[in-house]
Amino acid sequence: MTRMQLIESIEPLVNQLNAPFWEAAGRGELMLPWCAATQRFFWPPAPVSPFSTDTPMAWRRAEPRGSLLVAVTYRRSYLKALDPIMPYAIGIVELDAGPRLQVHLRDVGLAAPGCQGRRVEVYFEGLLPDSRPVPMARAA
Amino acid sequence: MSPVESRALSGGTAIVGVGASRFGRLPEESVLTLIGEALVEAVRDAGIDKERIDGLLVQTGSPRGADYDTIAQVFGLTPRFCSQTWSHGRFTATVLTHAALAVSSGLADCVACVTAAKNSTVGRLGEANHPLAHEQLREAGGPHGEEAQIGMSSPIAGAALGFSAYCRRYGIDRELLGEIPITFRRHARLNPRATERGPMTQDDYRQSRPIIDPLRLFDCSLVSDGAVCAIVTRRDLVPDARRAAWITGAQGIQAGRDTFIFAPVGLGVAQQSTRRRSLAQARELAVYRMAGCRPEDVDVLGIYDSFSALPVYALEDFGFCAPGDALSWIQGGRIGLGGEIPVNTNGGQLSEAQMNGWGQIRELVMQLRGEAGERQVADARRAMWLGVGGDALMFERE
């Protein structure tokens, strides 16, 4: 579990609700919240499915594939810790499993106009050498 | 519409006084000095004594502004009904609606709504040295969809993703967006209180510094210090009915899986569906039903514009044009002074000051009174406020 800190941080806030996602990410796997009542994945993690009144969230492995909806490139640095990887891009992946997931893109070429809709694979790596693996996408 | 709702809000309450501080980068000023300037101007404008104020609603509060209890103590107010929203913008219409509900229900008689922000000295939102930096690591995403753990810092990231998705969906040339900041700058040049009054051309816009592609510096609201105050009371207590901006329609900010703060409803970002609100649906929104009018009956608009793309979405979501049409529709002066529907005649948050939309509220009141000087929209009788969150207010003069 992570304690919230007011110093500069790029570590996600991990707790009992979302831990299965981050633990799977550490193994390089995509685990998503699942609604048993409607047989659908959803995002973000919630104690009860947003598609149901009282169905508790379950976790299931999901195929880490989808298409890149859009991506945008950072030209201005906001977090000093990330200066070494500027410029970088972030984007939205429409997972084949259903939900959309925001991802980091090491390849800013994926933010070029022609790349919208491109097939991508979601994988997990630390933004920096010593940081926790987070969702990223690369061309499939 | 139930009789209770229409009695409470449609024409029963009004903004009777508005005031603003100086705007700009004023790092040496106390935020309390700025609040004082706005409060005193609004009280004088309303023609009332300070003692009449018995309600106090604060938009942003600490750490950028000041909290309701500090404001009451510092200025010698004794409100019996106070409330305060969070440390961001967005709740402009909601705060005014709460004021109208409070005075119409008797919880207060005369409510001062105050927004204040000292942005020049708190760092930039998205950077680690900002007091709200932790929000971008908030569970389930920050207030604008931020996820700093993937490098997604700052509100502009969500705005850039939203605008990219909009351009992709409708096959639009992003340069058309220049019409928004350029039009609002033209308006600001006629506003002595505006922070940025220099000319802005299409070339200036194209050459402005890239922040997060495709958005540029001139797509972002200003770094501003300042305060705005609006005073709300009910019909039997209005000091001068001819100077009142009557609240004739309202609807609240909306939320849910089909919304994202920097996109129209159903654009298909975040977890939104791809079902946009149709023109016909937009024309039947609660704010129009309550006010008994339609978009074409509105003479002047104020729209939340912390980023230049937001007014584009609001024009579509509120039925001024069909989904996907707004960027073409606004070209050629349609939203400028003298155009079909002038928008943000004060210069907006992009050129007057980033006062979370309260500068536009003040401007709409001045427009209805005929006090907008060179920016006056001829015979403005009905003014409307739009937020991209779905919040809206209709104001009319008698």
Sketch out chain B's domains with CATH numbers: 3-120+221-396 (3.40.47.10), 121-151 (no CATH)
Confidence of residue B123 (pLDDT cuts 50, 70, 90): confident
Asked if the structure places residue A14 within a domain, the reply is: no
Asked if the structure places residue A81 within a domain, the reply is: yes
Asked if the structure places residue A8 within a domain, the reply is: no
Lowest pLDDT segment from A54-63, B38-47, B122-131, B386-395? B122-131
How close, in Å, is residue A140 to chain B by CA atoms? 20
The neighbouring-strand residues paired with B231 are B17, B112
Q: Mean pLDDT over all residues of chain B? A: 95
Q: How far is CA B389 from the centre of its chain?
A: 10
User: Is the pLDDT score of A8 beyond 90?
Assistant: no
Tens digits of residue pLDDT in B78-117: 999 999 999 899 999 999 999 999 999 999 999 999 999 9
ipTM of the complex: 0.95
Residue B23 structure tokens:
């705007």
Residues B259 and B265: beta-carbon distance below 8 Å: yes
User: Is the pLDDT score of B2 beyond 50?
Assistant: no
Asked if the structure places residue A9 within a domain, the reply is: no
Scanning B22-154, the segments in alpha helix (DSSP H) are 31-46, 68-75, 92-105
Residues A133 and A124: beta-carbon distance below 8 Å: yes
Lowest pLDDT segment from A1-15, A116-130, B159-173, B320-334? A1-15
Query: What are the residues whose beta carbons fall under 8 Å from the beta carbon of B394, sequence distance 6 or more?
Result: B247, B248, B249, B250, B287, B288, B290, B291, B293, B298, B382, B383, B384
pLDDT at position B19, please? 98
Lowest pLDDT segment from A108-117, B74-83, B189-198, B324-333? A108-117
pLDDT at position A113, please? 85
Confidence of residue B131 (pLDDT cuts 50, 70, 90): confident
Asked if the structure places residue A54 within a domain, the reply is: yes
The mean pLDDT value for B290-300 works out to 97
- Residue A90 to residue B248: CA distance in whole angstroms: 43
A71 → chain B, closest CA residue = B161
Position of tokens 């997604």? Answer: B152
Percentage of residues of chain B with pLDDT beyond 90: 91
Q: How many domains does chain A have?
A: 1
User: Is the pLDDT score of A125 beyond 60?
Assistant: yes
Nearest to B395 by CA among B252, B291, B296, B253: B291
pLDDT at position A7, please? 65
Residues A46 and A57: beta-carbon distance below 8 Å: yes
Residues B298 and B319: beta-carbon distance below 8 Å: no
User: CATH number, domain at A129?
Assistant: 2.40.50.840
- Residue B85 to residue B83: CA distance in whole angstroms: 7
pLDDT at position A9, please? 82
CB contact under 8 A, A80 and B160: no
Domain with A25 in it: 19-139
Asked if the structure places residue A45 within a domain, the reply is: yes
Question: Which chain B residues have a beta carbon less than 8 Å from that of A88?
Answer: 151
A103 → chain B, closest CA residue = B150
CB contact under 8 A, B133 and A8: yes
Q: Which of B149, B209, B274 to mutate to test the interface with A (most CBs of A within 10 A)?
A: B149
Distances (CA, A) of A65 to A113, A116, A139, B326: 20, 15, 10, 34
Asked if the structure places residue A13 within a domain, the reply is: no
Asked if the structure places residue A66 within a domain, the reply is: yes
- Give the Cα-Cα-Cα angle B147, B153, B158 (nearest 5 degrees): 75
